[in-house]
Amino acid sequence: MNSLQEESNRCLNCKVKPCQKACPLGNDIPSFIKLVKEDNLKEAFNVLTQTTVLGAICGRVCPHFKQCKGSCVRGIKSEPISIGELEAYVFDNAFKENYDIKTTNELEGKKVAIIGGGPSGLTCAAFLRRSGADVTIYEKQPKLGGITRYGIPDFRLSREIIDKNIEKILSLGIKVECNKALGKDYNLEDLEREYDAIYLSFGANVSSKMNIPGENLQGVYGGNELLETSIHPNYKGKNIAVSGGGNVAMDTARTIKRLGAKNVYVIYRRAKEQMPAEELEIEEAEKEGVEFLFKTNIVKILGNEKVEKLECIKTQLVQKEGEKRPVPVNIENSNYLLDMDYVVMAVGSKPNEEIVSKTKLEVTQYGNIKVDENYMTSKKGIFAGGDLIGTKSTVAWAARSGRNASEAIKNYLLEE
Ligand code: SF4
75 Cα to the center of ligand 1, angstroms? 9
Q: Three-state DSSP class for 240?
A: strand
- 227-265 per-position pLDDT tens digit: 999 999 999 999 999 999 999 999 999 999 999 999 999
Average pLDDT in the 206-217 region?
95
Q: Which atom of ligand 1 is nearest to the CA of 20?
A: 3
* pLDDT score at 219: 97
Please tell me the predicted confidence (pLDDT) of residue 159. 97
Pocket test for ligand 1, best of 29, 35, 89 (most atoms within 8 A of CB): 29
Q: What is the pLDDT of residue 382?
A: 98
pLDDT value of residue 279: 87
Interval 187-194 mean pLDDT: 95
Contact yes or no for 52/25 (Cβ under 8 A): yes
Strands 327-330, 197-200: pairing kind: unpaired
Instruction: Identify the pLDDT of residue 1.
Output: 73
The DSSP code for 102 is: P
Rounded to whole angstroms, how far apart are CA atoms 142 and 9?
42
Each residue's pLDDT tens digit, 266-318: 999 999 999 999 888 999 999 999 999 999 999 999 999 999 999 999 999 99
CA–CA separation, 376 vs 321, rounded Å?
36
Contacts of 382 (CB under 8 A, 6+ apart): 188, 192, 197, 198, 200, 359, 361, 376
Ligand 1 lined by 23 (C-beta under 6 Å): no
Q: Whose CA is nearest to atom 1 of ligand 1?
A: 11
- Rounded distance, CA 63 to CA 69, Å? 9
**What is the rounded CA–CA span in Å between residue 127 and residue 402?**
9
Distance 19 CA to ligand 1 centre (A): 6
State the first-to-last Cα distance of the chain, in angstroms, to the nearest integer: 52
Ligand 1 lined by 101 (C-beta under 6 Å): no
Give the pLDDT band (50/70/90) at residue 323: confident
Ligand 1 touching residue 84 (CB < 6 A): no
109: helix, strand or coil: coil
- Residue 349: the pLDDT is 92
139-164: average pLDDT = 96
CA of 376 to the centre of ligand 1 (A): 36
Mean pLDDT, the chain, rounded, equals 95
Q: How far is the CA of 121 from the centre of ligand 1 (A)?
A: 30
Global pTM value? 0.93
Output the pLDDT for position 97.
Answer: 97
Cα(27)–Cα(343) distance, rounded to whole angstroms?
39
User: Would residue 15 be called left, alpha or beta, if left means φ above 0 and alpha means ψ between -120 and 50 degrees?
Assistant: alpha
DSSP 74: G
Q: Who's near 78: CB < 8 A, 6+ residues apart? A: none
Q: Tell me: the pLDDT tens digits for 66-98?
A: 899 999 999 999 999 999 999 999 999 999 999
pLDDT higher than 80, residue 363: yes
What number does the ligand 1 atom closest to the CA of 80 have? 2
Query: Average pLDDT, stretch 7-24?
Result: 96
Contact indicator for 168, 95 with CB cutoff of 8 Å: yes
pLDDT at 44: 98
**Alpha carbon of 398 to ligand 1 centroid (Å):** 24
pLDDT band of residue 322 (cuts 50, 70, 90) is confident
- What separation in Å is there between the alpha carbon of 95 and the centre of ligand 1? 25
In angstroms, rounded to a whole number, what is the distance separating the alpha carbons of residues 385 and 406?
A: 10
Task: Find the 391 Cα to ligand 1 centroid distance in Å.
Answer: 27
Residue 29 has a pLDDT of 98
CB 139, CB 177: distance < 8 Å: yes
Query: 184 CB contacts (<8 Å, ≥6 apart)?
Result: none
How far is C-alpha 67 from the geometric centre of its chain's CA atoms?
A: 14
Does the C-beta of 30 come closer than 6 Å to ligand 1? Answer: yes
Q: Are strands 342-345 and 220-222 parallel, antiparallel or unpaired?
A: parallel
73 Cβ inside 6 Å of ligand 1: yes
Q: Choose which residue among 4, 68, 81 to substitute to test ligand 1 binding: the one with the highest number of ligand atoms within 8 A of its C-beta.
A: 81
User: What is the distance between the alpha carbons of residues 90 and 86, in angstroms, rounded to a whole number?
Assistant: 6
Q: Is 119:398 a contact under the CB 8 Å cutoff?
A: yes
Q: Which of 32-36, 181-185, 277-281, 380-384 has the lowest mean pLDDT?
A: 277-281
What is the SS3 assignment for 365-382? Answer: CCCCECCCCCCECCCCCE
Please tell me the distance from the alpha carbon of residue 297 to that of residue 294, in angstroms, as a whole number: 9
Rounded mean pLDDT, 173-195: 96
Segment 340-349 mean pLDDT: 96
**What is the pLDDT averaged over residues 388-399?**
89
Percentage of the chain beyond pLDDT 90 is 93
For position 66, what pLDDT does the model report? 87
Give the Cα separation of 404 and 396 in Å (integer).
Answer: 12
pLDDT of residue 2: 86
Strand partners, 300: 311
18 Cβ inside 6 Å of ligand 1: yes
Q: What percent of the chain has pLDDT over 70?
A: 100
